[in-house]
Amino acid sequence: MTIVKICGITNLEDAITAAEAGADMLGFIFYPPSARYVAPETARKIVQSSKFKVQNRQQNLEPETLNFERPAFVGVFVNSPAEEIREIMDFCGLDLAQLHGDESPEMVASFGGRAFKAINPSSPEQAERLAQKFAFSINRPSRFTPHVSLLIDAFHPTERGGTGKIADWDLAAQLARRYPILLAGGLTPQNVAAAVRTVRPLGVDVSSGVEASKGKKDPAKVRAFVEQVKLAIG
C-alpha cells in the first residue's frame, strides 16, 4: 500500500476532506515564512476537532462500511529548536515531526523515532550522502505512524519546499529501493500514478498540487489524488 500525506493543512474542512478521502497523514507547517503556515493554537483545534469528527462518524456507521481510520498528524518544521518542536508536538497532539531545515542527524535521532528528515538533493551523490546520514531505522511503526526514513523533495537553492517543482524521480527511485521514503515535489492528480509506478515509494506527499489557492485545498483534487495513488499499484 502506498500511503498518502496531504500537507499544508490550514483549516478543519480540509482536514476532514483529506481524512475522508483516505489520506494516511495530514501535515501542518510551522514555518512562518510559508504561505501555508498555521499557528499552533489553530493546528491544535484542527487536530482535536478532526479526531472527534472521525471518531463520531465511525461510531455512526455500520462496521462493514468503515473504510478509514484517523490519519497521523505531522508537524513540518524548519530549523526550530528541538525543545520548541517537542512543545508544539505535545500541545497540538502530533504524531511525527518532519524536519525540513539544516537539522543534524543527532537532532533527528533525539526524537526517538518521532521525527524524519526532508531532503532536496541536487545530485545522486548528495542524495546518497544525506541518506546515509539521516535514513534512520528507529521509527517505531504504530497504528497511526508508518515508518518513514526520509522525505525526498525537489531541489531548490533557497526554498524549503512547496515550490510545485517536480522532484528527480530517478534519483528518488534509487533511494526508494533501500529506504522507506515519502516522495514530494510537484505531484498532482495527473502525474502521481506515474510517480508511484516509477519510484515505488513508501508514500507520496502533496500540498500545492491539490490546492484551490495557497492554503486552501480543492476537495475534488484531494479525492482524485488519493484515488490515483490507489489505482497506481492496484
DSSP reduced 3-state for 175: helix
* Residue 6 main-chain phi, psi, to 5 deg: -100, 115
Residues 94, 86 contacting (CB under 8 angstroms): no
Distances (CA, A) of 16 to 27, 50, 159, 204: 13, 6, 28, 19
| Residue 153 is among the residues annotated as catalytic for this protein | yes
Instruction: Tell how many helices (H) and how many strands (E) occur in the chain.
Output: 8, 10
| Residue 7 is among the residues annotated as catalytic for this protein | yes
C-alpha cell of residue 207: 500540498
Cell numbers 515505488 label which residue?
200
Catalytic residue among 7, 24, 168, 205: 7
Residues 165, 154 contacting (CB under 8 angstroms): yes
Bridge partners of residue 93, in order along the sequence: none
Catalytic residue among 14, 24, 95, 153: 153
User: Residue 95 and residue 124: Cα distance in Å, rounded?
Assistant: 30
Alpha helices in 110-191 (DSSP H): 124-134, 169-176
Catalytically annotated residues:
7, 153
